[in-house]
Amino acid sequence: MKNSKIILICLLLFTVILNGFINDDSYFSITQKDVEFKIPKGFPKPFYALEKNKITPAGFVLGRKLFYDPILSKDHTISCASCHQHFAAFAHIDHQLSHGIHGLIGKRNVPALQNLIWNNAFMWDGGINHLDLQPVSPITNSLEMDETLGNVLKKLQQNKEYVLMFKQVYNDTVINTDKFLKSISQFLALMISADSRYDKYKQGKDTFSKSEKRGLKLFRANCATCHKEPLFTDYSYRNNGLTINPSLKDSGRLMITGIKADYLKFKVPSLRNIEVTYPYMHDGRFFSLKQVLNHYTKTNREGEILDPVLQKGIELNEEEKTDIIAFLKTLTDKSFLHDRRFDNPFLAAYNNTASKKPNTQPIPLNEDQLIIKYKSAWDSVQLKTINGIPQYNTYIDNLDGITEQISKYPKKPDAKLSKLEELRLQLMNSKKHKEAIANYFTYGQPASLAELTEPCKQALSLTNKTDIEIIHTEIKKPSKTAWVVLITYKIKNAAGSDALKTNSFEVTYNPVTKSYTAMQEK
């Protein structure tokens, strides 16, 4: 009997202690164990001082709610998570540039959010120097959330749920800037990616294929100067040879420092989860890892602007590129991408009280409304051009994405086609879709102008016995069968003096070998 009482008392004490460490929010419980921080094996000491902003279950849940709440934007339509999507390592894979209120387009590609407490600065240009200050930029950016901190705090102070949550975290109902920003940081601080296959391989818990092992060796020989293990970045700012985007006119780090040498320098991003964080580069100009590697293997020009480690270029054949990509995919951290702690608390799937609330879901569209919706979406897809290069691959992807969405609707039990299915077949057989496919097979998808001009330069070298100096390259409107490229170059004439010439080339694409061949026009 005495032992039974002791056991009962212990159980009661355990329950009281456990409840003290659990934040019983309406979505799912976050325990003290969920917010405990341990430096991953091999990682350096974090830059962010966690001791000055100790993470608690209640603080984490508050930060998570703020991250997913569009109340932070001027018209209550855009949240932090609108651009930073969990499944993409908190990057934004469906847009090249950030999107804001009223359909406005930002000026830079959305970076992934991971291992943030090891960063000493943020943004592509390093314009923010502390994690707690990072949210201020998108909140006040006129192309993103277009709000003021004062208005945000006022809205939160008028929200009874937020007042109670802030009181639970800070034992005070006053919501100020410091508490607001530190709450978001508690959520951001735990976005730690350190459980990829690469990490397990380093710990002897996984094996690599021959291709992945070759890729790791090639990576360390050619890429690790900037993308240092284990974080896969050195947090430096470098000019990687990208030409300036004429529509954005983004000069990079120069805008922050005012130093001429910082022109077109951007922060070296981490390559962790690189497989799922496309598009790549500060302006999202590349949509595949192959395009990125093609850029670096074709970057070979001397000068003070291009980073010194790239001035001699990187030599990789197609098999080596494949091996590097195989290795880069081992950096995908599925545990991080599916970590339930970071899921959207506004989703009904995690809301235990959803059944008690009135149904606020939108009324499903009927078939005629869906047809209008998808016809409008189809008409809105336009072929985009970046740096003079039409983006045929993304154009087709966007068109096919619409037909794929339509195909997901249930089919009729009888043999007759539904109106939606008829629309899908109509779109797939439309002139717009056929031309998109034909253009892709005719022209391919060059990663940059260099991929088209390089064959022209090689053709010039073969037909000229004397040395030539390329002065200018320009892509013209493609012919029906090939790209048209103008090459202006300097060559010695018979008298030994310099002569300026311009040749026009037709650059044809081979869809089998996925390569380009140049032939000089007569």
3-state secondary structure 81-114: HHHCEHHHCCECCCCCCCECHHHCECCCCCCCCC
Please identify, among 443, 461, 490, the residue that sits at the C-terminal boundary of a domain.
443
Residue 24: the pLDDT is 43
Pairing mode of beta strands 237-238, 468-476: unpaired
| pTM metric for this prediction | 0.64
How many other CB atoms sit within 10 Å of the CB of residue 475? 18
Instruction: Give Cβ neighbours of residue 249 (< 8 Å, ≥ 6 apart).
Output: none
Q: Is residue 158 part of a domain?
A: yes
Question: Which residues of the chain fall short of a pLDDT of 50?
Answer: 12-27, 302-303, 348-360
Tell me whether residue 348 is in a domain: no
Q: Which two tokens stand for residue 17?
A: 């202690």
- On whether residue 57 sits in a domain, the answer given is yes
499 and 387 within one domain: no
Looking at 157, 189, 221, which one is the last position of a domain?
Answer: 189
Number of CB atoms found within 10 A of residue 382's CB: 8
Among residues 384, 414, 443, the one where a domain terminates is 443
Residue 352 falls inside a structural domain: no
Task: Output the pLDDT for position 250.
Answer: 92
Cα 34 from Cα 121, distance rounded (Å): 26
Q: Does 207 map to a domain?
A: yes
* Token duo for residue 472: 């200018």
Q: Are residues 208 and 165 in the same domain?
A: no
505 lies in a domain? yes
CATH label of the domain that carries residue 273: 1.10.760.10
For 453, the token pair is 């001009």
Whether residue 319 is found in the same domain as residue 388 = no
- Same domain for 53 and 74, yes or no, is yes
**What integer pLDDT is reported at residue 4 of this predicted model?**
55
- The Cα 119–Cα 214 span in angstroms is 30
Domain that holds residue 211: 197-332
- What total of structural domains would you count in the chain? 4
Residues 424, 456 share a domain: no
Q: Is the residue at 381 inside a domain?
A: yes
Number of C-alpha atoms within 13 angstroms, CB side, residue 354? 12
Whether residue 267 is contained in a domain is answered as yes
Contact present, 368 and 419 (Cβ < 8 Å):
yes
Q: In this structure, are 258 and 402 located in the same domain?
A: no
Amino acid sitting at position 120: N
- Check whether residue 234 and residue 322 sit in a common domain: yes
**In the prediction, which pLDDT does 254 show?**
93
Same domain, 167 and 284: no
Whether residue 234 sits in one domain with residue 119:
no
User: Do 479 and 512 fall within a single domain?
Assistant: yes
Which amino acid is residue 281, in one-letter code?
M
Q: Are residues 94 and 147 in the same domain?
A: yes
- pLDDT of amino acid 228: 96
125-141 residue pLDDT tens? 999 999 999 999 999 99
pLDDT for the residue 27:
46
Encoded tokens for 105 = 């387009």
Largest CA distance in the chain: 115
Omega cis (within 30) before 230:
yes
Query: Does 468 share its domain with 434?
Result: no
| Mean per-residue pLDDT of the chain | 85
Whole-number Å distance between alpha carbons of 338 and 335? 5
Which tokens sit at 229?
């293990």
